[in-house]
Amino acid sequence: MATKDAKAARSQLGRSRQDVLKITSAHVAEQRQLKGKVRELEKRLKALSKKNEPNRGGAKAKR
């Protein structure tokens, strides 16, 4: 049943199975790349927030 639906969808789009697989694999690769970027940015953000965190018992905090 699912293959019939997939076939219908492909024929409607005018794409072959190879085209669909190529697009899908490109999309997956892009998602993986973006996930890596997000992870990298989160690390940088964490490092910056640590750097900017004031000392808890400093003189300014007691004022």
Per-residue pLDDT band for 1 (boundaries 50, 70, 90) equals low
> What pLDDT was estimated at residue 58?
58
- The per-residue pLDDT for 57 is 59
- As a whole number of angstroms, the distance between CA 63 and CA 61 comes to 6
Alpha helices in 1-63 (DSSP H): 2-13, 17-52, 59-62
User: What are the pLDDT digits (tens) for 2-61?
Assistant: 777 878 877 777 888 888 888 899 999 999 999 999 999 999 998 888 877 766 655 665
Task: Kindly report each contact of residues 14-18 with a partner whose C-beta sits within 8 Å and lies 24 or more positions away, as own/partner.
Answer: none
Query: Domain residues of the chain, as ranges?
Result: 2-49
pLDDT recorded at residue 62:
56
Q: Let me know: does 33 contact 26? Beta carbons within 8 Å.
A: no
